[in-house]
Amino acid sequence: MADIFVSYSRQNKARVAPLVRALEAEGWSVWWDPEITPGEEFDTLISRELDQARALVVVWTPDSVDSRWVRGEARDAADRGVLVPVRFDNARLPIDFRALHTTDLDDWAEDPSRPTFRSLCKALESKLGSAAKAKAALAAEKRHAVGICVLPFANMSGDPEQEYFSDGITEDIITDLSKVSALSIVSRNTAFSFKGKSSELAQVARQTKATHVLEGSVRKAGNRVRITAQLIDAANDAHVWAERYDRDLNDIFALQDEISKAIVAALKLTLLPEEKQALEQRSTTNAEAYKLYLMARQFWLLDSERNNELCARICTRVVELDPNYAQAWATLSLAQWNAFNSGSSADDGENAAARAVALDPQLADAHVAMAAVHRSRGHFADGLAACERALAIEPESYIAHRFAGLCCIGSRSYTAAIAHFEAATTSLESDFTAASFVVQCHEANGDLAKARDAAKRALSRIEKVVAAQPDHGRAIGLGVGMLASLGETERAKEWVVRGRLLDPGNASLLYNFACAMVQLHDVDAALEQLQGVTEIMNAGMLKWIEADSDLDPLRDEPRFRAMLEQARQRLGAAGPSSATPAA
């Protein structure tokens, strides 16, 4: 049962999402965009949540006023005395609701400190009690929880190529321990920020606010695996538990169960029945599929278009071995989307994403994969909604924040995009993609000082990637944009020459080059790059070009208009919608 039921029109989801996040940050639970499980009737679920909610926030907009469902939900709440109305765009309220006090939120600017939002909170407190008290109680509960930071397990196989396997084991242990309500687990991205560093355990504990640190190693040789692990109390550097396991690789899943349960037992915690069952549930029970998936995921995490084919090929084999492996379907979809976005494939990953969601509606990456599909088709509001579902499941998901930011850019919601990109950038210190888009958002908002600082940060990360992988197309393409933002014109043009030689058919790379040339006020060079893009791009990229603020200086350029018109004719696409800048 949630504290608040939010009634709204699906057309306004992108606008409602920040409001939901702000209400949740106040300490209330919110039901607003259900994940319908297979076999469950939509109307039944809506009715149950509506009846149980202690307050209903109806979001009146020109779209929702016309919705009989929203009006019906609002009428039910009004009859029960739990209705709290808000309004956007000075929507003309239904006649039977005009006498009720309604909070106008047009000027709240997604800022929880604004008087209009505080007024909404005050109205909710009169029905629900103090959100501050609820939040304080939740914080107190968390303070008493045992906090564990699972450091990346060392690869002791004598083969650097086996790094993917030890990383995968670490991630699965983090996931397993996260299912135990009595434990507070440091996120994967934060834990992996210590990889390769000789940090003192006390320092790790201080930085992550963990009470305990789990460290270990993995040695894989043929079909045998040895895992050692030790749990240390950070307060006194004492060993709470330690064990070494030598098993056949086919026993890897039972071994992971043993480790998680041993840690719980060592901490003298009690597993709830549902938690015990959750620990025993696995995405796959096929050891070969699991091993191959970890390899595919390593290629995906490198974030280079050149690895798409490898990642997709391995994932295809994985789902052949286990057709019900939801995580593999989600990663396959993201690899297919990447290839689609670079112009090397006509498959945008929709089928694989839909399969992942159907197999496991509680898998965050499955919803991110669907968000990628929506984003590539120019359905930015739907893409953001899918990301919000992912973030409800996994609040610190790097990839969910990254795609949410992209969808916000497509909708020209730059402040919201910055919040998502910064969350992604903070959670993964090797990230350069989200960090680069922060620059564009600050530039679109007119804050050139912040844009310059963000460009320096992104370029620093990009230079490390390019030094290690000189043919990394995405890093080179975004790096040119950072150099342009910093006024390093000659260096930017040198990188363009290098990139075109390394990956001449990459539409995404050429597009990034064009955006950088616009930044450098070199219209001819920008149009030259875009010519190569428009000749090979798909309908999804056309939608992005119509919405991207980076290309706004070209909107009145006749050659640019002609390119887009030719692309529309080739793709059979209509002209830009009213929601996108006029071309």
Candidate from 3-17, 24-38, 245-259, 448-462 with smallest mean pLDDT = 24-38
Yes or no: say if 472 and 304 are a contact pair by the CB < 8 Å rule: yes
- Whole-model pTM? 0.66
Residues 187-229: tens digit of each pLDDT: 887 888 888 887 788 888 888 889 999 999 999 888 888 999 9
102 CB contacts (<8 Å, ≥6 apart)? 60, 85, 86, 87, 93
pLDDT in tens, 423-449: 999 888 789 999 999 999 999 999 999
Domain that holds residue 204: 145-282
Domain boundary among 119, 138, 157: 138
152 vs 533, residue with greater confidence: 152
On whether both 123 and 20 belong to a single domain, the answer is: yes
Provide the CATH number for the domain around residue 17.
3.40.50.10140
CA dist 469 and 9 (Å) reads 46
The DSSP bridge pattern shows strands 238-248 and 212-221 to be unpaired
| CA 210 from centroid of its chain's CA atoms | 24
Examine the domain organization and report whether 150 and 269 are in the same domain: yes
Q: What is the pLDDT of residues 68-125, one digit of tens each?
A: 889 999 998 998 889 999 999 999 999 889 888 999 999 898 888 899 999 999 999 9
pLDDT at 135 over 60: no
Give the chain's domain count. Answer: 2
Distance CA 101, CA 104 (A): 10
- pLDDT at res. 145: 64
pLDDT-above-70 percentage for the chain:
93
Q: Of 58-67, 271-280, 375-384, where does mean pLDDT reach its minimum?
A: 271-280
pLDDT of residue 574: 54
Residue 346 has pLDDT above 50, yes or no: yes
Q: Is the pLDDT of residue 321 over 50?
A: yes
Residue 287 in domain: no
Residue 368: the pLDDT is 96
Instruction: Choose the weakest-confidence range: 145-159, 404-418, 465-479.
Output: 145-159
pLDDT greater than 80 at residue 22: yes
Higher per-residue confidence, 238 vs 533 = 238
92 plus 130 within the same structural domain? yes
Better-predicted residue by pLDDT, 252 or 358: 358
Q: Is residue 213 assigned to a domain?
A: yes
Q: What is the mean pLDDT of the chain?
A: 85
Residue 328 in any domain: the answer is no
Give yes or no: residues 66 and 94 share one domain.
Answer: yes
Interatomic CA distance for residues 86 and 308, integer angstroms? 45
More confident residue, 333 or 287: 333
Tens digits of per-residue pLDDT, 292-301? 999 998 888 8
Claim to verify: residue 101 and residue 206 sit in the same structural domain:
no
- In the prediction, which pLDDT does 581 show? 34
Asked whether residue 149 falls in the same domain as residue 133, the answer is: no
Which has the minimum average pLDDT: 241-245, 399-403, 568-572? 568-572
Give yes or no: residues 126 and 149 share one domain: no
Rounded CA Rg of the chain: 25
Number of Cβ within 10 Å of residue 119's Cβ equals 16
pLDDT beyond 50 at 144: no
**263 in the same domain as 172:** yes
Q: Which range is least confidently modeled, 41-55, 196-210, 259-273? A: 41-55
Distance CA 512, CA 537 (A): 13
Least confident of 310-319, 356-365, 512-521: 512-521
255: number of Cβ within 10 Å: 17
Q: What confidence score (pLDDT) does residue 131 get?
A: 52
Instruction: Judge whether 507 lies within some domain.
Output: no
Read off the pLDDT of residues 170-183 as tens digits, 9 standing for 90 and up: 988 998 888 888 88
pLDDT at 253: 86
DSSP 144: T
Contact 529, 511 (CB under 8 A): yes
171 and 235 part of one domain: yes
Q: Give the mean model confidence (pLDDT) for residues 345-368.
A: 92
8-state DSSP, 411: T
CA atoms within 13 A on the CB side of 480: 29
User: Looking at residue 164, which CATH number applies to its domain?
Assistant: 3.40.50.10610
Residues 155 and 115 in one domain: no
- 150 and 180 in a single domain? The answer is yes
Residue 130: per-residue pLDDT? 60
Long-range contacts of 445-453 (CB under 8 A, 24+ apart): 445/414, 445/415, 445/418, 451/485, 452/485, 452/486
At residue 140, the pLDDT reads: 45
Maximum mean pLDDT: which of 144-153, 195-204, 518-527: 518-527
H-run or E-run covering 312 = helix 308-321
Can you tell me the mean pLDDT for 228-232?
Answer: 93
* Domain boundary, last residue among 252, 282, 312: 282
Q: Tell me, what's the pLDDT at 1?
A: 62
DSSP SS3 for 221: strand
Residue 291 domain-assigned (yes or no): no
Residue 155 in domain? yes
Give, rounded to a whole angstrom, the gap between the first and last alpha carbons of the chain. Answer: 48
**Residue scoring higher pLDDT (42 or 473):** 473
pLDDT of residue 573: 61
Rounded Cα distance, 304 and 465, in Å: 10
If one compares 64 and 143, the residue with the highest pLDDT of the two is 64
Mean pLDDT over 244-269 rounds to 87
The pLDDT assigned to 83 comes to 94
Q: What is the pLDDT of residue 504?
A: 79
Higher pLDDT: 571 or 447? It is: 447
Residue where a domain stops, chosen among 104, 138, 172: 138
Q: Exposure of 343 by Cβ count < 10 A (0-12 exposed, 13-18 middle, 19+ buried)? A: buried
Q: What is the pLDDT of residue 138?
A: 47
561 is a domain residue: no
Residue 72: inside a domain: yes
Do 76 and 28 sit in the same domain of this protein?
Answer: yes
